[in-house]
Structure 1
């Protein structure tokens, strides 16, 4: 199983975390999950996490993903989830 390095930059750099993941997609999903959890903890503690960043590197040291606050709070417009709920020009009430 490939090993990935996760770097969490939350105001100041945190120690890197190394984990075995099946592939790049699993590593990115795990990074997003961990970043969301950290950001929620930060908000509860009264910290502004909007500048926090998570970086994922593969075994060779190549950057495979950079995940920022905006990536976690905004749903991508090209996902199936968004397409199902999108109804331009129609407003729903209560």
Structure 2
């Protein structure tokens, strides 16, 4: 199986990951799954996930795809949060 290298743009502390996968489509699917999980982590930490992106390279070092926040969560599918209810009191 071919090897694919994943580089996580805008994340200075994330080291590249190399995986053996069946084909380019499997690499893209892997990147989309990782993106979805990373978005959850960013939201939990109250960080903006919209700038996240992952570049996928083949064994020769060529960029074969880029998966970003908007390719996983298209603009028309991102729901806006409801307006905050002023009668609800927040702790802290």
User: How many residue pairs were aligned?
Assistant: 76
TM-score, normalised relative to structure 2: 0.75
Shift of the 55–13 alpha-carbon distance from structure 1 to 2, 3 Å rule, reads farther
Cα distance per residue 1:22-51 (max 9 Å; x no partner): 000000100110011011111111110111
Runs of 4+ in 1 over 3 A off after TM superposition: none
Is 1:50–1:70's contact at 8 Å kept on the other side of the alignment? yes
RMSD of Structure 2 on Structure 1 (CA): 1.8
2-structure distance, mates of 1:18, 1:29:
15
TM norm structure 1: 0.74
Q: Structure 1 residue 9: deviation in Å?
A: 1.9
Where structure 1 has 5 or more consecutive residues not aligned to the other structure, the ranges are 76-94
